[in-house]
Structure 1
Amino acid sequence: MTVLDSDLHLVDFAATDPNDLQVKVSQAIDAANDFLDTLATEVDKPNTQVGAEQALADVLAFDHINLALDRNWGVLSHLNSVMSNDEIRHVHHELLPKLSAYGTRVGQHQPLFSRYQAIVNDTSFFATLEPARARAIELALQSFELSGVALPKAEQETYAEIQSKLSTLSATFSDHILDATQAFALPLSSEQLAGLTESGLALLADAGEQYKARQLADGKLTQAQIDTLPTPYYVASLNIPVYLAVMTHADDRQLRETLYRACVTRASEFDTHTNSKGESLNNADIMSQILALREQKARLLGFNNYAEVSLSTKMADSVDEVERFLRNLADKATPTAKADLVQLQECARDYGITELQPWDNAYIAEKVKQNKFSLSQEAIRPYFPLPKVIDGLFAIVERLYGIKVQEHSDSVSRWHDDVLFYQLFDADDSLIGGFYFDLFARSGKRGGAWMSGFQARYRHDETGYQQLPVCFMVGNFTPALEGKPSLLTHDEVLTLFHEFGHGLHHLLTQVTVGDVAGVNGVEWDAVELPSQFMENWAWESDGIALISSHVETGEPLPKAKLDALLAAKNFQSGMQTLRQIEFALFDLLIHAHTPALDYAGILATLDAVRNDIAMMKTPDYNRFANGFSHIFAGGYAAGYYSYKWAELLSADAFSKFEEDGIFNPITGKAFRDTILSVGGSLPAKINFENFRGRSASIDALLRHSGFSGTNTVAANTQSNREVS
C-alpha cells in the first residue's frame, strides 16, 4: 500500500463508526466550550484589557481547537448523505441540537467577539495582517452580528431556540425526500417497456434486483415468491438515472405521467408513503415552519425579511436588484422559449399528442434532437465511458493549470467500493491535495450532485500543524452495468465537469487561513463561477476530443455526431433558462414576503411566478416546492438566483479564453491566480475584475445561451461548504 502524505489527514472509513463519531463530536464541543469558558473568566478579572496581539493568539487557538469538531461532524454529515441508514441518521439527528446550541453560543460569545473587535480596533496592528487573515476577521465580525451578538439576553435565547429548530426541521425535510424517493417502486409489464433503450432496460433490471432484495429484507415477499418473478425483472424508480431513462424514451405515455406524478408529489399531501416509524413524509408543515422561523430570526436581527439576511453576505445588494436581474433575463429568454415550445408542440403532434404535457417534454425533446439534429443521447452515450471522460477531464486541467492527477484508490480506506481517490500535484510535483469521486446512484444516497469541501487548506504556525485540502465530489450517474463501464450522457458529463470546477476551487487555493481557503468565505452568488466555468470545456470540440472514445472500438466521437451535439447546444435553452428563473424567483419571493407564508401561501406564490414566467401550464397536483432541498435543507435559501448570477460571471470569464485560445496556459494561469487560488480572501467582485480587467458584462451569457440581442441586462455584480 502506497504511503500517502500525512498532511492529507485521510479518514479511515473502514474503522469509522457512527457512535464513535458521536462521542468525538461531543468531546470536541466540550473542549471548545471549555476554551470559551476560559476566555470569559479572563474578561471577568479586574482591569483586564486584552491587546490586539493576545486577541489574535486567542482567535487562532480557538480556530485550531475547532478542527476536531469540523472533521468529525464533516465525516458524519458526509456519511448521512451518501450511506444513510437508520443508525447514521439517528446519530446525526441526535447531535443537531447540541451543534446548534454550540454554534449559537460561539456567535453570541461576547469575550470571543471582543477579541475580534480588539484586533480590528488596533488599526496599526490590523494593517500588518496578511490579507487573508484580515478578510477572515472581517467576515467573522459580520457573522457575529448575524448570530445576534448584540441582542439582549432574552432575545439571544430566542435566537438559539430558532437555530436549533431550523437545523432539525431542515434535516427532517431532507429525510422525507430521500425516504419518499426510495419508497416508490413500480414493476413494469413487457408492454410498458416499448421504446426503452438497452441501457435503460439494464437500469430497470438493476432496479428490479434491488427491489427484490428490499422486499425480501422487509418480509414483504418470501424467497419462494421472489423465485417466481421473471428474470430480468423490470422496475421503475425515482432514482434519477432510472427516472430519466423512462421519461426520455418510454413510448407509454401513461407510464410517463405516472412517474412524473410520483416525482412531483414526493413528500406532499398526495404522498401516502411513511418512514420506518410509520410517520408521514409530508413536508408541507415543515416548509411553513421553516419560513416562519427564518422570518422571526430576521426580525430579531433588525431585517425586514429573511431575504435581506441572506443577501447581506452576497454580491447582490438587495431583493429589488436580484428580482430586476431575474425578470430582465426572463424577458431576454422568453422569445427563444416561445420558439422552443412551438418546436416541441409541432413534433408532439407527429406522435399523436395534441396537448403537450410536462411528462411529454423529455420524450418529445429527444425526438426533436433525433429528427432535427440527428442526435440521440443513447447513440452518443457509448462515446463517453466514464474512465475516458475522467482521463480527458484531467488532461484538460493539466493543460490549463499545469496540474497532474494520480489515482490512489487502492491505497486508501473508502466508504464504498465504487468510490475513487486521487491526489493532485502541481507542475513542480508538490502535492496540492486529495479528492474522492463517489459518482453512482444507489440506495441510501441523496439525489443530485455536489462537492463537499470537507477539509480546507490550513496551517497553524504555533504547533507546526498543517493540512492539505481534501474534498468529496458526489454524483448520481448511471452505474456500470453488464460488464461495461458507466456510460455517461452528455448532461452527466457536464455535471461531472461542474462539480470538478467546484473541486478545483477548493483544492487550488493558496490560502492557509481555513475560513477563507477554497470555497470558504466566497459569496454564495459567486461560488458557482468556477463550476459553471468548467462546463465550457465539455462543449468545445477540442475538449470533447479528449473526453470521448467509443467504449468498444475506441474511435473518437465522429464529426457528424460532434457537429450534431454542438448544433444542439442551445436546444431548449430558452425554456430551461425560464425554469431556473422560475425556481429562483419563487425562492426569493417566499423569503422576502412578510408575514411568513403558510403552505397555501407558498403554493400560491409558486403559481403566481409560473403565471409570470413559465411557458407551459403545470398540473394542479405538482408539489415541486415540497422537494426543493436547495432552499429548505441546503444553503441556497433566498440564494437560488446564484446559479444565473454566477452564470453571467462564468460566461464572461470564459469569453477571455475564447479570445486567447481555450487552452492558453497564460490565461489559465491568470484564472488560477486571480480566482481559484485566492478563495474567499478577497471579495468576489475584486477577484473577477482582477481576472477580466473590467466589471462583468452579460453579453457573453446572452450569446452562449443563444438569445438574440446583446442589450445589457442591469446587473451590478458588485465553515466547510457544500455546493451543488
Structure 2
Amino acid sequence: MTASNPLLQQFDLPHYSAILPAHVEPAVDAILADNRVAIADLLSQQSGTPSWNGLVLALDELGARLGRAWSPVSHLNAVCNNAELRAAYEACLPKLSEYWTEIGQNQPLFQAYEALAGSPEAGGFEVAQKTILEHSLRDFRLSGINLPEAEQQRYGAIQMKLSELGSKFSNQLLDATQAWTKHVTEEAALAGLTDSAKAQMKQAAEAKGLDGWLISLEFPSYYAVMTYADDRALREELYAAYCTRASDQSPHAGQFGTRASDQSPHAGQFGTRASEQGPNAGQFDNGPVMAQILDLRQELAKLLGFAHYGELSLASKMADSTEQVLSFLRDLAVRSKPFAAQDLSELQAFAFDQGCADLQSWDLGYYSEKLREQRYSISQEILRAYFPIDRVLGGLFAIVERLYGIQIKELSGFDSWHPDVRLFEIEENGQPVGRFFFDLYARANKRGGAWMDGARDHRRAADGELISPVANLVCNFTPAVEGQPALLTHDEVTTLFHEFGHGLHHLLTRVEHAGASGINGVAWDAVELPSQFMENWCWEPQGLALISGHHQSGEPLPQDLLDKMLAAKNFQSGLMMVRQLEFSLFDFELHATHGDGRNVLEVLEGIRDEVSVLRPPAYNRFPNSFAHIFAGGYAAGYYSYKWAEVLSADAFSRFEEEGVLNPQTGHAFREAILARGGSQEPMLLFVDFRGRTPTIDALLRHCGLSEEAA
C-alpha cells in the first residue's frame, strides 16, 4: 500500500514498501559522509562557549536524519528477513559502528560538551537537559575518550566486530529455527492437539504445497506440541530440535564440557556421533560466536578500566554494583526455590499417577497443563475462546484511555511491510500524540519473540516543529485460521500488554529533547518498569471484563471461569521464578567471571546447581539461542526483568490501594514515569510516584511466594 491520507504524511511515517536492498548501503554511505562534514563544520564554527542549540540540538538533527534511514531498515531485517536485505543490512553495520565510535572518541566534541556543561547557560537548563549532558559525558568516557590512540583504535575494532557477531548470532538462530520442520500425514500422530493448533499446522502445510500438517519451531507451533501432544516421542523430538537450535557438532562439543557419559539415551537419534547436538548439529553453530563475543566484551571492559563486562554494564544502570545485583538475585532464589521444589514434587506425583514415572523436560508443559485443568478446571485453550484479538485490543485501549486521558483510533491508507500490519493513533484533547504499528502474528522470515522499537522519537526539531513519536510493536501470536479471528491465550494477552507498556513509555513522553525522550536515556534495568506494570491489568477482574468476550457469542468471561483463572494465577509460580533467576544469574555470572577457566555450559551448570530443581538433558544448548544477551541489549543485564518487576509490582500496589482504573492514580503514574522518560534517574521518578523507595513485598505477594500470599 502507498500512503493516500495526507494527514499521515505530515508525520513522516517510514515508507517501508519503497525500501529496496540495493538502496540501503548507498543511502547510509551518503548520510554518514554528510554527517561527518556537518560535525566538522559545527565544531569549526564554535566560537567561545557552545550553546545547546548549536551543539546538542544540531547533533540531534544529524542523528534523526540517520535514524529516519536506518530505523526502518533495521526493523525490516527483523520482520521481513531475506538474503538481499540481510546482506545490505550487514554491509552497513561496520560503517555505523565506526561512525558512532568516531563520535564517542571525538576530542573536540567532548570538550565542547564539557564547556557547555560548565557554562552559565547550563545553569538555567531544564532537568532533562542537565541529565542529557551528564549522560553524554559519561558515554564519552565509556567510548574510550581518555584512552591512548592505539587503544581507541582497538576499542573501535572491538565494537565493529561485536556488531557483526551480534547480527550473525541472530541470523543463525533465525536460520536454525526455520531449518527444521516435521511433516505429519497421519492425524493420529497429533492426538491431544487443539483444533486451532491443527488448523494452523494444516495451513502451514498448504502454504508449502503439502498435504497433512506441518510442525515448525516457530513458537505457536512449538508451544502447541509441548503443551497438548499426547505422543511423548513427538514432544521429545520437538523439544530436542528446539533446545539445540544453532548448536554444535562434534569438533566443537568439547568447548561446552560435553562428556559421553552425560549424553541422554536418546542422543543417538540426532546423528551418528553422540556429541552432535540436535538434528541440524553444527550447521548454524552459535558456539564460536558466543566465545568471540564474550572474549571481546571482556577485552572492552578491561580497556575501559573495569574488572569485567558486568561492571561496564552497570556503569549506566540503576544497580550500584555486581555484589548488589547478585545479592538481589540470590535472595530471590533462596526465597523461591522451596516453592519451586514443591511445584515440581506435585507435578511429578501427578505425572506418575498418569503413567509417567520419569518426568523429563519435554513432559513439563504437557503434564503442567493437565494438572492445571484437573486442579482448576481451566486451560489456556478454554480461555483462548474469550480473547479474540479485536476484543483484547479494544479492552487494552479502553484501560489506557481511562487511566491516561487519551484516545486511540485505527488508521488506514498507510504504507506497510505486510498485510497483517495495523496502524493506530493516540490523541489527547483532539490532538495527535503519537502513532504505533502492530505486527502481531508469527510467520516465516520474522524474528521470534516480542518487542517494541522506536521508529520516530518525540522531540522539538531545530525549526521549532514538534516531531510526534512512532513505535513498532511486534509479537509472534498464532494467526487467524479457517475464518475465525486470531484467538490469544492469556499468556499471549499478557505479552501484548507488556509490549504495549513499552510503547506507551515511548509514545506518552513529554520530554522534547531526543536524548531523554521516551525510553532514550532510561537505565536499562528500569526500562521494563512500564511494560511489566501493564501486565497487572490482565489479572484484574475490572481489566478482564474489558479485554474478554467469547469470539462467537460476545459473552463476557463467565464468573466461574474468572474465579478459576484467578485461583490459577500463581500455579507453578515457584518454577517460573527460578527459571527466570537461572537466566538472570547465568547471564551476570557469565559476564562477571569470564576468563576463570569455565566455559559457557559449565557456568550454566553451576547456576543450575544453585537454583534449578529439574535438570534438562545434557544435549540442551539453551545459551546458543539466548538472543537477549548475545544479539540484544541485555548482556549482563537480563536481571533487569526481575529488578524492574520489583518496581512495577510496588508501583501497581498504589493502584490496588486507590482503584485499578482510578484516573487520578493513572495520571500520577503517567506524569511521574511515562511522561518524564529518561530525564531523571529512575529511582527519583519512582519515589516521586510512590512516595517512598520500593520494597520486594508486593512482588512476592503477586507471585504467591510470601506468607501473605499463601
TM bucket (normalised to shorter chain) is over 0.9
Distance, in Å, in 1 between the alignment partners of 2:13 and 2:339 is 49
What secondary structure is seen at the aligned counterpart in 2 of 1:411? coil
Which residue of structure 2 aligns with residue 548 of structure 1?
548
| Aligned residue in 2 for 1:258 | 237
For 1:503, the aligned partner's letter is G
1:180 matched to 2:159? The reply is: no
Question: Conserved in 1, the CA contact under 8 Å of 2:549 and 2:556?
Answer: yes
- Using the TM superposition, give the Cα deviation of residue 22 of structure 1 relative to its aligned residue in structure 2, in angstroms: 2.5
Contact preservation (8 Å) 2:42, 2:54? no
Supply the distance in 1 between the matched residues of 2:84 and 2:19 (Cα, whole angstroms): 13
SS at match of 2:634: coil
Q: Structure 2: how far apart are the matches of 1:297 and 1:596?
A: 17
CA contact (8 A) 2:24 2:89 kept: no
Instruction: Provide structure 2 residue ranges, at least 5 long, that are not aligned to the other structure.
Output: 249-275
Aligned partner of 1:628: which letter? F
The aligned counterpart of 2:191 is 194
Tell me the alpha carbon deviations over residues 324-374 of structure 1, each in whole angstroms, 9 at most, x when there is no partner. 000000111112111111121111112211011111111011101110000
1:645 and 2:637 aligned: no
Q: Which amino acid aligns with 2:321?
A: S
Which residue identity does 1:36 align to in structure 2? I
Conservation of the 8 A alpha-carbon contact between 2:241 and 2:279? no
* Structure 1 residue matching 2:599: 3-state secondary structure: helix
Hey, what's the Cα distance between the residues in 1 that align with 2:484 and 2:183? 25
Residue aligned with 1:406, SS: strand
The structure-2 alpha-carbon separation of the partners of 1:614 and 1:457, relative to structure 1 and needing over 3 Å to count, comes to same
**Other structure's SS at 1:696 match:** coil
Query: Would you say the 8 A contact 2:384–2:490 is kept in 1?
Result: yes
Distance 2:706 2:301 in 1: 40
Partner of 1:482: 482
Structure 2 distance, partners of 1:362, 1:490, is: 15
The residue number in structure 1 matching 2:582 is 582
Q: Does residue 294 of structure 1 match 2:300?
A: no
1:186-585 superposed matches below 5 A: 186-188=182-184, 189-212=186-209, 230=211, 233-269=212-248, 270=276, 280-408=283-411, 410-426=412-428, 428-460=429-461, 462-585=462-585
Deviation at 1:211, TM superposition (A): 3.7
SS at 1:383 equivalent: coil
CA RMSD of aligned residues (A): 1.6
Output the CA distance in 2 between the equivalents of 1:596 and 1:456. 42
User: C-alpha separation between the residues in 1 aligned to 2:10 and 2:323?
Assistant: 46
1:4 alignment partner, SS class:
helix
1:207 Cα shift? 2.2
SS of 2:234's partner is: helix
Q: Provide the rounded CA distance (Å) in 1 between the counterparts of 2:130 and 2:625.
A: 39
Kindly report which structure 2 residues correspond to 1:570-719, keeping only aligned pairs within 5 A, or say none: 570-595=570-595, 601-709=599-707
- The aligned counterpart of 2:254 is none
Shift of 1:654: 0.2
Distance 1:497 1:81 in 2: 21
Stretch of structure 1 that moved more, 19-28 or 180-189: 19-28
In 1, Cα distance between equivalents of 2:284 and 2:91: 19
Distance of 1:710 and 1:201 partners within structure 2? 42
Question: Which residue of the partner structure matches residue 218 of structure 1?
Answer: none
- For residue 385 of structure 2, give the secondary structure of its aligned residue in structure 1: helix
1: CA distance, partners of 2:596 / 2:106: 29
Secondary structure of the equivalent of 2:466?
strand
- In the TM superposition, residue 518 of structure 1 has moved relative to its aligned partner by 0.4
Deviation of 1:708 after TM superposition, in Å, equals 2.3
**Deviation by residue 1:491-541 (Cα, 9 ceiling, x = unmatched):** 000000000000001000001111110011000000000000000001001
Q: Give the distance between the partners of 1:596 and 1:97, measured in 2 at CA.
A: 30
Distance 2:544 2:684 in 1: 32
What is the rounded CA distance, in whole Å, between the counterparts of 1:684 and 1:658 in structure 2? Answer: 22
**Secondary structure of 2:182 counterpart:** strand
Distance apart, 1:58 and its partner CA: 2.5
Partner Cα distance (2:443, 2:162) in 1:
28
Equivalences for 1:66-145 in 2 at 5 Å? 66-122=63-119, 124-145=120-141
Checking the alignment, whether the CA contact within 8 Å between 2:480 and 2:486 is kept in structure 1 is yes
One-letter amino acid of the structure 1 residue matched with residue 128 of structure 2: A
Residue in 2 that maps onto 1:38: 41
State the alpha-carbon separation in 2 of the partners of residues 211 and 609 from structure 1.
Answer: 42
The separation in 2 between residues aligned to 1:136 and 1:6, in whole angstroms, is: 30
Please state how far the C-alpha of 1:19 moved relative to its aligned partner.
2.2
In the alignment, the residues of structure 1 paired with residue 374 and residue 602 of structure 2 have an alpha-carbon distance, to the nearest angstrom, of 39
Unaligned runs of 5+ in 1: 44-48, 213-225, 712-724
Q: Which residue of 1 aligns with 2:273?
A: none
CA drift at 1:200: 1.1
**Worse-matched range after superposition: 185-194 or 364-373:** 185-194
CA gap 1:420/1:160 in 2 versus in 1, 3 angstroms: same
Deviates more, 1:568-577 or 1:600-609: 600-609
Whichever residue aligns with residue 652 of structure 1, its letter is D
For residues 414 and 341 of structure 1, the distance between their equivalents in structure 2, rounded to whole angstroms, comes to 46
Contact 1:39/1:112 (CA < 8 Å) preserved in 2?
no
Contact 2:277 2:619 survives alignment (8 Å): no
What are the residue-to-residue correspondences of 1:25-64 with 2, within 5 Å?
25-39=28-42, 41=44, 50-53=48-51, 57-64=54-61
Q: Does the C-alpha gap of structure 1 residues 449 and 145 become closer, same or farther in structure 2, counting only changes over 3 Å? A: same
Letter aligned with residue 449 of structure 1: A
Contact 1:383/1:557 (8 A) holds in 2: yes
Query: Matches of 2:277 and 2:170 in 1, distance apart?
Result: 15
**Deviation of the 1:5 alpha carbon:** 4.9
Aligned residues: 678
Alignment deviations for residues 445-485 of structure 1 (CA, whole Å, 9 cap, x no partner)? 0000000022110112x423431000000000000100011
**SS of structure 2 residue aligned to 1:570:** coil
- Structure 1 residues 503, 647: closer, same or farther in 2, change over 3 A? same
- Letter of the aligned partner of 1:166 in structure 2? L
Output the CA distance in 1 between the equivalents of 2:207 and 2:683.
Answer: 48
Q: Is the 8 A contact 2:646 2:695 kept in 1?
A: yes
CA distance in 1 between partners of 2:170 and 2:285 (Å): 11
Aligned partner of residue 556 in structure 1, secondary structure: coil
Flag the 1:282–1:447 CA change in 2: closer, same or farther, 3 A. Answer: same
> Cα distance, 1:39 vs. partner?
4.7
Aligned-pair CA distance for 1:206: 1.9
Distance 1:459 1:40, change over 3 A: closer
Residue 718 (structure 1) aligns with? none
State the SS of the aligned residue for 2:448: coil
Q: Check the 8 A contact 2:201/2:214 in 1, yes or no.
A: yes
3-state DSSP of counterpart to 2:7: coil
How far apart are the structure 2 equivalents of 1:320 and 1:696?
Answer: 19
Provide the C-alpha distance between the structure 2 equivalents of 1:116 and 1:273, rounded to a whole number of angstroms: 54
1:21 Cα deviation from its structure 2 partner: 3.0
State the distance in 1 between where 2:651 and 2:408 align.
Answer: 25
Distance 2:316 2:67 in 1: 22
Per-residue deviation, 1:596? 6.9
Residues 244 and 278, structure 2, Cα contact 8 Å, conserved in 1: no
User: By how many angstroms is 1:629 displaced?
Assistant: 0.2
Tell me if the contact between 1:375 and 1:565 (Cα under 8 Å) persists in the aligned partners: yes
Give the conservation status (yes or no) of the 8 Å contact 1:7–1:467: no
Q: Deviations over 1:228-259 (max 9, x none)?
A: xx3xx111110000000110000000100000
CA contact (8 A) 1:7 1:466 kept: no
Specify the code of the residue in structure 2 equivalent to 1:373: Y
Structure 2 counterpart of 1:125, which letter? Answer: E
Query: Which AA in structure 1 matches 2:384?
Result: R
